[in-house]
Structure 1
Amino acid sequence: MSLRVTAEPTFRDALATASRAQIGMWVCSGSPLVAEICAGSGLDWLLIDTEHSPNGLESTLSQLQAVHGYPIVPLVRAPIGDRVIVKQLLDLGAQNLLIPMIDDADAAHAMVAAVRYPPLGVRGVGSALARAARWNRIDDYLHNANATISLFVQIETALAVENVASIAAVEGIDGLFIGPSDLAASLGLLGQQEHPDVVAAVEHCIRTVAALGKPVGVNAFASATAERYLAAGANFVLVGADVSLLARGSEALAARYIPAPAVVDEPAERASY
């Protein structure tokens, strides 16, 4: 007798039933061990990133397997809104996808089509070969796949801010996520995520999407920034990353235990050279 299994609840489901904002962190190291450590942290969700990290299909699969069974919801960010890449990530068993750089409703519609089988979309059919269907151990996966997948898109440019209402209104988009870093760059304010114009654009998006009844999230590593956007109505927030925590933590150890090099003044006759 073969073992029959069921799909896990999606991030869409978690947001719909949550009584508070969902707090998460990035996993960018590419390490299944690190992903598993983070999965047991008590946070609500993890973002496994394939856009700005050394993750490919194999390491993404390993991390999904490593965090499976922990009380945390994994999302996978695709490197680009490409329907072939989306198909591959879905077949790996990524139930929750975040697509970067979605600037308008047409791009959002294309991603909805990418996650759905025909006739509703263009996702290639390979369920017998795929972990997503547990190699056809999930009953009637092909006809029920839509219920097992949630799709989120990222607002990261000035154009996307202008189009945020129409993007949020696309049926099949389960939520929007705002990326202040790229948004700042798009506004001509590279590296200035706290600039008033960037903050105003982020808060405009939060208000607009919330008014349309869809979840909206944001990236905010600084605690004061996270609190500001939570107060503005964000439903899910990323507040840290594995690589950043390791970098800052190791720097703090060095600063505490290793004396700073002594400053040696140069002789006066060399100072003017």
Structure 2
Amino acid sequence: MPLPLTTTFRDVMATAERPLAGMWVCSGSPLIAELCAGAGLDWILIDAEHSPNSLETILAQLQAIHGYPVHTMVRPPVNDTVLIKQYLDLGVQNLLIPMVHSAAEAEAAVAATRYPPEGVRGVGSALARAARWNRVPDYLARAGETVSVAVQIESAAAVEAVEDILAVEGVDAIFMGPADLAASMGLLGQQEHPKVRAAVERCLDAAKKAGKPAGVNAFNPDTARHYMDAGAGFILVGADVALLARGSEALAAQFVPAADGDGPTVSY
């Protein structure tokens, strides 16, 4: 039996002839994940940093998505060796590691995905879906082939260190998060600020020079196209929860009379 799903996001990016468009899946719902997987996008990101996802819900979504012609990346809540080990054992093959601010942190992320002596991943293939419970021959020797690692550049410190981060062996791509980047620059909520866009573009340029793919989050269509023209090889252009929020608001605006022009109300 060959290794399952050996085409990683790293392999896809190496042969892509255009920027790859994807979306966030944040609901924690396998049904929504499957719905999005069949939409025709190139890739989806299951998020556990800012979304209600556990090991169990991630597993259910991986199972729901399996078989659809879409590439799946998963973001853990933190750059943590134990969590990364658990994600890999679930069968996650493409990781997006958040808040990587230095080459040392990038090295730690890569080490968490490799068995010794190349890394520190704990060995539990007999218990793991990734190895099909030891039904995959030579899994321990070849597991690295099935994993790609992208790290997030989302702070001013990370931008300054981007060349060193890109030079880390095993970092397959970088991905810019303009929201956190803006906050770290004292520009909270101003992802479109010229200084933020310039920082993103600096990272895109550094990745091109390093020969590695770079991606970015951009829900504004004009900004997304700008970054694609500037060299972004993969991009997130929407999210399941955002689409549902705006779509339901549009229905309410169309069919429910507004009271004194008020919009949706929120209570905590």
How far 1:7 sits from its partner (Å)? 1.9
Distance in 2 between the 1:262 and 1:219 partners?
A: 36
What is the identity, as a one-letter code, of the residue corresponding to 1:57?
Answer: L
How far 1:260 sits from its partner (Å)? 1.8
Choose which of 193, 196, 219 in structure 1 pairs with 2:194: 196
Distance in 1 between the 2:179 and 2:173 partners?
A: 19
Contact 2:30 2:64 in 1 (8 A): yes
- Between the two proteins, the alignment pairs up a number of residues equal to 260
Any stretches of 5+ residues in structure 1 without a counterpart?
264-273
Matched with 2:229 is: 231
Under a length normalisation based on structure 1, what TM-score does the superposition of the two structures give?
0.94
Distance in 2 between the 1:137 and 1:5 partners?
A: 10
Alignment of 1:132 onto 2:139? no
What is the identity, as a one-letter code, of the residue corresponding to 2:177?
Answer: G
Matched with 1:206 is: 204
What is the identity, as a one-letter code, of the residue corresponding to 1:198?
Answer: V
Matched with 1:115 is: 113
Contact 1:179 1:218 in 2 (8 A): yes
How far 1:137 sits from its partner (Å)? 1.5
SS of 2:105's equivalent in the other structure is: helix
Distance in 1 between the 2:153 and 2:15 partners?
A: 24
* Residues 18-167 of structure 1 aligned to structure 2 (within 5 Å): 18-167=16-165
Deviations 1:104-126 (A, max 9, x none): 10111111110000010000000
How far 1:261 sits from its partner (Å)? 2.0
Contact 2:110 2:170 in 1 (8 A): yes
What is the identity, as a one-letter code, of the residue corresponding to 1:220?
Answer: A
Distance in 2 between the 1:145 and 1:22 partners?
A: 25
Select between 216-225 and 10-19 the one with higher mean Cα deviation.
10-19
| Two-structure CA RMSD over aligned residues (Å) | 0.9
How far 1:258 sits from its partner (Å)? 1.2
Contact 2:3 2:139 in 1 (8 A): no
Matched with 1:245 is: 243
SS of 1:23's equivalent in the other structure is: strand
Alignment of 1:6 onto 2:17? no
Compare CA radii of gyration and give the structure with the larger one. Answer: 1
Identity %: 65
Any stretches of 5+ residues in structure 2 without a counterpart?
262-268
Matched with 2:264 is: none
How far 1:14 sits from its partner (Å)? 1.0
What is the identity, as a one-letter code, of the residue corresponding to 1:129?
Answer: L
